[in-house]
């Protein structure tokens, strides 16, 4: 086992046979490695943006950008992102463009079907032009001029988050006239900034802890330590409280209701559903993944 910080170094070590399995690969090399050891599997997670909605002074910094406190602006920002472009041309790891906060394949509902299929979709990713038209109409109806808005987008330096930020920056400018400045920080500093509200919009992501929609829905209750949007909605909190005390179809309906509230208020902006990509040598068999973790219990290496 080698601890390697750079994905390019991981790839080089894999190609020389120094590594049998590599956990990172440069995004621009994924296509060339498709038949040379690249493994891509579905992952129970969502890459999203957190919008700082805190309006109270105190230990957590309040949102100074009043535009982001308007749900119309947040909704317009969400609609004006071309997720198909991002997954096909930026991340290029087989991710699925998100249209809900809760990812697919996470939970079976009381009828045995994927609860994701019953969620009200936030938009249609195959109709980006119409989504942008809707975004502009929302701002116009609210009397909001996109060119009057400037937003700061925070992301951590590691990984490909900068390329995603730049793509979204261009989309918001081109489609809505909104100016976005991008700020990056090293991981430890970034985490502190996100946790303490030192941001306007920050990149975020969540991988399921267990096979149930609640692992996502519970993130946005007002008391959740993972609620980096500082979202505080008493109605949403009550729906989640009721869901935790329910089962079967009643539980399903409450989860669906909670997701709809998030769609309408947009405290977060889902971007894509994660996949898990890694490199594995052809002579390695018996590994398997469960809950996004790779297990080596039954691994065999042949000469």
**Whether 274 contacts 95, CB under 8 Å:** yes
- What are the beta bridge partners of residue 184? 155
Q: Which of 44-58, 169-183, 197-211, 227-241 has the lowest mean pLDDT?
A: 44-58
Buried b (16+ CB within 10 A) or exposed e, 8-21: eebbebbeeeebbb
Phi-psi region of 227 (alpha: psi -120 to 50; beta: other; left: phi over 0): beta
Does the structure show a pLDDT above 90 at 30? no
**Predicted local confidence at residue 28, as pLDDT:** 80
Which run of H or E residues covers position 216? helix 214-217
Q: Please check whether residue 177 is in contact with residue 146, taking contact to mean a CB–CB distance below 8 angstroms.
A: yes
Residue 116 pLDDT more than 80? yes
Q: Which two tokens stand for residue 235?
A: 């109605």
Q: Answer whether residue 219 shows pLDDT above 80.
A: yes
Confidence category of residue 25, pLDDT binned at 50, 70, 90: confident
Q: Is pLDDT of 246 > 80?
A: yes
* Opening angle at CA 104, ends 212 and 22, nearest 5: 95
At residue 200, the 3 state secondary structure works out as coil
Residue 164 has, within 13 A of its CA and on its CB side, a CA count of 29
Instruction: Tell which residue, 49, 18, 85, has the closest CA to residue 194.
Output: 49
Nearest to 51 by CA among 135, 151, 137: 151
- Residue 56 structure tokens: 């109270």
- Asked if 135 contacts 175 with a C-beta cutoff of 8 angstroms, the reply is yes
For position 262, what pLDDT does the model report? 98
Contact assessment for residue 201 and residue 266, using Cβ atoms and an 8 Å cutoff: no
Going by C-alpha positions, the residue among 10, 50, 7, 12 that lies closest to residue 27 is: 7
Give me the pLDDT at residue 57, please. 62
The pTM of this model reads 0.86
Question: Is the pLDDT score of 292 beyond 80?
Answer: no
On the question of pLDDT at 258 being above 70, the answer is yes
pLDDT, mean over the chain: 94
CA 57/CA 59 separation, integer angstroms: 7
Task: Give yes or no for residue 93 having a pLDDT over 90.
Answer: no
Of the listed ranges 38-42, 128-132, 134-138, the least confidently predicted one is 38-42
Query: What average pLDDT does the segment 282-288 reach?
Result: 92
Q: What average pLDDT does this structure show over 249-269?
A: 98
State the burial class of residue 95 (Cβ atoms within 10 Å of its Cβ: 0-12, 13-18, 19+): buried
Instruction: Give strand ranges (E) for the chain.
Output: 21-22, 38-51, 96-97, 150-156, 179-185, 201-207, 268-280, 284-285, 288-290, 293-295, 300-301
Q: Tell me the average pLDDT across 177-192.
A: 97
Instruction: Give me 139's structure tokens.
Output: 């701002």
Q: For 32-89, write each residue's pLDDT tens digit.
A: 998 999 998 878 999 999 999 998 766 778 888 999 999 999 999 999 999 999 999 9
User: Contact 275/87 with Cβ under 8 angstroms?
Assistant: no
pLDDT of residue 155: 98
């Amino acid at each position: 086992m080698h601890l390697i910080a750079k994905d390019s170094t991981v790839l080089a070590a894999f190609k020389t046979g120094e590594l049998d399995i590599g956990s990172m690969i440069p995004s621009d090399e994924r296509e060339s490695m498709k038949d040379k050891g690249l493994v891509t599997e579905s992952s129970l997670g969502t890459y999203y943006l957190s919008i700082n909605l805190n309006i109270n002074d105190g230990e957590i910094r309040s949102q100074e950008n009043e535009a982001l406190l308007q749900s119309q602006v947040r909704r317009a920002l969400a609609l004006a992102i071309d997720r198909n472009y991002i997954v096909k041309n930026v991340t290029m790891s087989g991710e699925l463009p998100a249209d809900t906060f809760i990812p697919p394949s996470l939970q079976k509902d009381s009828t045995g079907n994927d609860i994701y299929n019953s969620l009200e979709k936030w938009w249609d990713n195959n109709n980006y032009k119409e989504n942008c038209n809707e975004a502009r109409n929302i701002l116009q109806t609210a009397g909001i001029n996109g060119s009057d808005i400037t937003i700061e987008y925070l992301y951590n330096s590691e990984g490909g988050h900068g390329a995603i930020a730049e793509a979204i920056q261009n989309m918001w400018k081109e489609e809505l006239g909104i100016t976005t400045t991008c700020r990056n920080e090293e991981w430890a500093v970034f985490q502190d900034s996100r946790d303490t509200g030192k941001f306007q919009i920050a990149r975020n992501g969540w991988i399921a802890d267990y096979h149930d929609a609640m692992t996502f829905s519970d993130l946005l209750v007002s008391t959740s330590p993972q609620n980096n949007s500082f979202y505080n909605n008493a109605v949403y909190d009550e729906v989640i409280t009721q869901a935790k005390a329910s089962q079967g179809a009643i539980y399903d309906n409450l989860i669906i209701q909670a997701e709809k509230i998030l769609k309408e208020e947009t405290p977060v902006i889902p971007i894509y559903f994660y996949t898990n990509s890694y490199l594995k040598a052809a002579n390695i068999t018996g590994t398997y993944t469960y809950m996004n973790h790779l297990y080596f219990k039954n691994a065999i290496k042949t000469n």
